[in-house]
């Protein structure tokens, strides 16, 4: 009988969506957490399971039992995923599956693994669930407060890239350049060195996954939706105070002009990513295609993080012949 690894996985979002965190916990020597400046509780729950699967991939011959308080995650992975996959990752009503990127990555990470899930009631005193919840909530709080936090030892030897980051942090501490105190307290009794707040990019489906880019793409899609375009308050939150756009018609839009005229688009437009690049920790360039029923446009969007929130600073559109 093979050894069974038992781990708890949990997610947290302070305002759903809002600053969010994820964590998995096996014991005081094997745990990990992280998060994003903007995310949902469901994405946190899903990513916790995904990172746990990746962190234990070198032990694929061993069984893994995941304790989870999210019925959504358990049902998605054990009941709904096969049907979604057969339908091209669409639901019964033909709409795209929510959190499709994470679902596809989970499907890949689960292949060939002996994984089972057990539902546990959240906030009911289960020691492992409480530890994962505390770590996930602490990571979300750290993103809200812009403070550093301990991401944990992970499972097994530290990867070379993580070791390089750790060495850089040690050097920074020696120079007195490390910033605010640790926010997400680990369950270990001995204090560990904090790590940088920027979530390290994770490989997903053969491309580099960056949670900031993922969040910004979500905001870009929001600006195409009827719901948001009927809500000037939400549009105002997404636009930088100095926003400007060179429209495909040649018209120049300012923030105040766009807010005065914002309305649902006359035709349904979908987002198709072309390329994305993080120019700095707080600046992201998206290049994408807006696809309508009879026409498409090439778009460039420059997003800047201001006081912890991503804002659209500049946009430009060009019709495709």
Q: Which of 38, 45, 220, 245 is catalytic?
A: 45
In the annotation, is 69 catalytic? yes
- Does the annotation count 11 as an active-site position? yes
How many angstroms from the chain centroid is the CA of residue 160?
A: 23
Catalytic member of 123, 125, 175, 261 = 123
Helix (H) or strand (E) run with residue 280 in it: strand 270-280
Choosing from 38, 69, 214, 245, the catalytic residue is 69
Active site residue 307: no
The answer to whether the beta carbons of residues 204 and 105 sit under 8 Å apart is: yes
Which residues lie below 8 Å from residue 190, measured CB to CB, with a gap of 6+? Answer: none
Task: Give DSSP secondary structure letters for 163-196.
Answer: HHHHHHHHHHHHTT---S---S--SSSS----B-
Do strands 296-306 and 115-119 pair parallel, antiparallel, or not at all (unpaired)? Answer: unpaired
> Measured between alpha carbons, how far is 65 from 320 in angstroms, rounded to an integer?
50
In the set 11, 34, 44, 152, the catalytic residue is 11
10 annotated active-site:
yes
Question: From CA 208, how far away is CA 237, in angstroms rounded?
Answer: 28
d(CA 133, CA 127): 10
The DSSP bridge partners found for residue 33 are 23
Distance from C-alpha of 48 to C-alpha of 53, rounded to nearest angstrom: 9
Q: State yes or no: is 123 an active-site residue.
A: yes
Per annotation, catalytic residue among 10, 51, 199, 220: 10
For residue 252, how far is the Cα from the chain centroid? 33
From the candidates 38, 51, 130, 133, which is the catalytic residue? 133
Residues annotated as part of the active site: 10-11, 45, 69, 123, 133
């Amino acid at each position: 009988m093979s050894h069974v690894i038992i781990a708890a996985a949990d997610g947290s979002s302070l305002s759903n969506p809002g600053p969010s965190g994820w964590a998995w916990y096996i014991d005081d020597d094997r745990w990990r957490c992280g998060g994003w400046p903007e995310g949902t509780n469901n994405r946190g729950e899903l990513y916790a399971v995904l990172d746990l699967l990746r962190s234990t991939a070198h032990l694929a011959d061993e069984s893994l039992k995941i304790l989870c308080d999210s019925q959504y995650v358990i049902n998605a992975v054990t009941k709904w995923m096969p049907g979604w996959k057969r339908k091209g990752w669409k639901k019964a009503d033909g709409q795209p599956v929510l959190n499709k990127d994470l679902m596809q990555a989970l499907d890949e990470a689960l292949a060939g693994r002996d994984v089972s899930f057990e539902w546990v009631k959240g906030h009911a005193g289960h020691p492992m669930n409480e530890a994962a919840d505390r770590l996930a909530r602490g990571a979300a709080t750290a993103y809200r407060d812009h403070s550093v936090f301990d991401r944990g030892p992970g499972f097994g030897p530290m990867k070379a890239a993580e070791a390089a980051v750790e060495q850089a942090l040690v050097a920074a501490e020696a120079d007195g350049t490390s910033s605010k105190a640790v926010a997400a307290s680990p369950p270990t009794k001995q204090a560990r060195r904090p790590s940088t707040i920027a979530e390290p990019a994770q490989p997903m489906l053969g491309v580099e996954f960056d949670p900031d880019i993922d969040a910004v793409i979500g905001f870009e899609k929001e600006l195409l939706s009827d719901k948001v375009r009927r809500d000037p308050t939400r549009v105002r939150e997404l636009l930088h105070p100095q926003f400007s756009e060179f429209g495909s018609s040649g018209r120049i839009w300012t923030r105040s002009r766009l807010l005065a005229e914002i309305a649902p688009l006359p035709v349904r437009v979908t987002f198709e990513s072309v390329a994305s690049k993080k120019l700095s920790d707080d600046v992201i360039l998206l290049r994408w295609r807006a696809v309508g029923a009879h026409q498409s446009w090439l778009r460039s969007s420059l997003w800047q993080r201001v006081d912890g929130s991503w804002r659209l600073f500049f946009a430009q559109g060009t019709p495709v012949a």
